[in-house]
């Protein structure tokens, strides 16, 4: 069962454990998974501050197109389409190119692209 980490900003991270819990330990599967999740969290800085929740695989959308918009609702992961798309990684450069009015401006921007 995947572990969905609800981050402080509302976004989520999803992890899956490779090692299955030991059924002979007397610990419930959910308790064992959450115990292992805490170990994973301690070793993964990106998960610090996240709250782990066990979510059935069937409750995670198969289409990853809007993954940056996924949010946890109860024990289901749903896309929140009201969240804007993240900006293009080079949006500042795209804006500078659009604002360029002379060949000299474009030459300077071209240097930024190739460097």
pLDDT above 80: residue 32: yes
**Whole-model pTM above 0.75?**
no
CB contact at 8 A, 42 and 52: no
User: Cα 17 from chain centroid?
Assistant: 17
Q: Name the percent of the chain lying above pLDDT 90.
A: 50
Note the pLDDT of residue 17: 77
Average pLDDT rounded to a whole number, residues 104-113: 90
pLDDT of residue 88: 86
Distance CA 57, CA 45 (A): 24
Q: In the predicted model, is pLDDT for residue 34 greater than 90?
A: no
Of residues 24, 15, 21, the one with CA closest to residue 33: 21
Token pair of 93 as six digits: 């450069």
């Amino acid at each position: 069962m995947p572990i969905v980490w609800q981050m402080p900003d509302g976004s989520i991270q999803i992890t899956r454990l490779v090692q299955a819990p030991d059924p002979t330990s007397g610990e419930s599967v959910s308790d064992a998974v959450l115990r292992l999740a805490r170990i994973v969290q301690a070793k993964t800085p990106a998960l610090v501050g996240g709250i782990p929740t066990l979510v059935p695989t069937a409750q995670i959308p198969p289409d990853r197109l809007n993954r940056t918009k996924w949010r946890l609702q109860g024990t289901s992961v749903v896309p929140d389409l009201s969240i804007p798309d993240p900006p293009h990684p080079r949006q500042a450069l795209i804006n500078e190119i659009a604002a360029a009015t002379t060949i000299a401006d474009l030459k300077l921007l071209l240097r930024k692209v190739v460097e």
